[in-house]
């Protein structure tokens, strides 16, 4: 299909445009950027944006990706911040908005601006253990298998439609740190694959 589009238009089809939101070190972002660089993920990152000073911004800059610090204003409501963020992202015309360690709960103004176009990855097999400290929740509950989930973002806390999951066994001597590391490795493999599959389902 790509070859046919090139034949009829004289130019290759435009790659999907990803805007990535981070709040921390950006390890999932790095895995996505690597997948794009290796042409495993048929997309380009047009912007990495963080709501706070984050090492992920510096990492993205090393990949040559445009970055922006976009903090919440003093006294600004969560909805007001998301409305402002939505207007900023619209200027980039992203195909998808990708949360990669983004620590803010997304509200209606941003969801309405990009319906079914905001993805997140969570370190548990949803609907089990939503919210923060999912790895500790899994250990405290005593489950034998946990993992990670890629899902669409909706108005709830990790309640959006599940797109893909990867299981990670819990070992008898696991701590939060050791379990988190193994889940993170699974996230790095799952996220780009789930994004690639979801892009195929979007209208041209």
Report which of 102, 177, 188, 190 is spatially closest to residue 136, judged by C-alpha positions: 177
Task: Write down the catalytic residue from 30, 117, 122, 188.
Answer: 122
Instruction: Show Cβ contacts of residue 116 under 8 Å, excluding neighbours closer than 6 positions.
Output: 152
Report which of 202, 199, 176 is spatially closest to residue 35, judged by C-alpha positions: 199
91 φ, ψ (degrees, to nearest 5): -65, -25
CA distance readout (Å), 126 to 10, 13, 57, 78 = 44, 35, 28, 25
Structure tokens at 98: 């990708």
For tokens 């984050």, name the residue.
54
Lateral strand order in the sheet of 67-69:
67-69, 43-50, 16-22, 96-99, 118-122, 145-152, 162-169
Annotated catalytic residue 188: no
Are 198 and 96 in contact by the 8 Å Cβ rule? The answer is yes
Are 57 and 22 in contact by the 8 Å Cβ rule? The answer is yes
Catalytic residues: 122
């Amino acid at each position: 299909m790509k070859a046919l589009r090139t034949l009829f238009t004289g130019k290759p089809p435009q790659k999907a445009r990803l805007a990535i939101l981070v709040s921390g070190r950006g390890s999932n972002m790095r895995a996505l950027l690597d997948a794009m660089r290796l042409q495993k993920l048929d997309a380009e990152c047009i912007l990495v944006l963080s709501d706070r000073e984050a090492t992920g911004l510096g990492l993205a800059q090393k990949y040559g990706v445009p970055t922006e610090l976009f903090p919440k204003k003093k006294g600004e409501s969560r909805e007001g911040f998301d409305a402002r963020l939505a207007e900023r992202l619209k200027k980039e015309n992203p195909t998808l908005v990708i949360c990669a360690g983004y620590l803010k709960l997304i509200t209606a103004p941003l969801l309405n601006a990009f319906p079914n176009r905001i993805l997140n990855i969570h370190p548990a097999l949803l609907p089990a253990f939503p919210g923060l400290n999912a790895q500790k929740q899994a250990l405290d509950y005593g489950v034998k298998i946990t993992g990670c989930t890629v899902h669409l973002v909706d108005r709830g806390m990790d309640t959006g439609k599940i797109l893909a999951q990867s299981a990670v066994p819990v070992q008898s001597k696991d701590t939060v740190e050791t379990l988190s590391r193994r889940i993170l490795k699974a996230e790095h493999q799952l996220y780009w694959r789930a994004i690639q599959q979801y892009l195929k389902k979007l209208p041209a």
